[in-house]
Structure 1
Amino acid sequence: MNISQAAQQSGLSSKALRHYESTGLLVPARRANGYRDYSEANLEALRFIQRARASGFSVDEVRSLLELRDNPGRRSRVTQQLVREKLSRLEAQLRDMLEMRASLASFVDSCAGDDSPRCAILEQLSGQPCE
């Protein structure tokens, strides 16, 4: 099947397929007359990539997951460890974002939000004491 058919059946864009090919995540079954030709195995890989990316995995992490998927000698603990590490990083990012959210909420609460030029938010960001 051609790139537009593969894109449609995988739920990805043609641009995404070209990107995954350029990064080495995907190798079309063959190229005929300069056109990509995708196989059912390519579609399975594309669906795997799409689900992994939707779960937050980076292209490099997807590459590792694909290598594990295609390795009959794999150990499930390796895959689990990779996902545990991803989850740990995500939880750290979530904590950071919650802290940012609290800071922003505090900024909003400290600001009069009126027509005066004084702005407690700008003062706090400038390191000036608020009056």
Structure 2
Amino acid sequence: MNIGTASEQSQLPVKTIRYYEDIGLVRPLRSDNGYRDFSETDLQRLKFLQRSRSLGFSIEECRELLSLYEDGDRASADVKAITQSKIREVDRKISELQSLKKVLTTLSDACHGDDRPTCPIIDDLAGEADR
């Protein structure tokens, strides 16, 4: 199948598929005229990558997961370890976002939000709140 069909079926943009080829995540054959010829195996890899990326796995994590996906002798513990690491990363990001929300809420609550030119938010951003 051509890249357009692979794009439609994998729900990945053509540009992303080309990038995945450039970095070696997929290796479609080339037809005599030089066009990419994606096999069903290539399509499965693309779908795997699309789902993995949608769950927040990095390119390198996807590379590792693909390797495990294709390894019939893989240990599920290896897959679980990668997933648990991603969960810890998500938890850390959630914590950071909650802290950020708290700071922004405090700043917003301190601002009168009226016609006055003084604004604690601007003062904080300018580093003047510390003075």
TM-score interval w.r.t. the shorter chain?
Answer: over 0.9
1:70 and 1:9 map into 2 onto residues whose CA distance is 20
TM-score normalised by structure 2 residue count? 0.92
Listed as ranges, the matches of 1:32-47 within 5 Å are 32=31, 33-47=33-47
- Deviations along 1:93-113, whole A, 9 cap, x unmatched? 010001101111111110011
4+ runs deviating over 6 angstroms: none
Q: Could you list the runs of 5+ residues in structure 2 that have no partner in the other structure?
A: none
RMSD, matched Cα: 1.4
Amino acid at match of 1:58: S
1:25 and 1:88 map into 2 onto residues whose CA distance is 25
2:85 and 2:61 map into 1 onto residues whose CA distance is 11
The alignment-based identity, stated in percent, is: 38
Partner of 1:82: 82
Q: Could you list the runs of 5+ residues in structure 1 that have no partner in the other structure?
A: none
TM-score normalised by structure 1 residue count? 0.92
Aligned length: 129
- Deviations along 1:2-53, whole A, 9 cap, x unmatched? 100111111111111101111211111x112211000000111111111101
1:35 and 1:85 map into 2 onto residues whose CA distance is 39
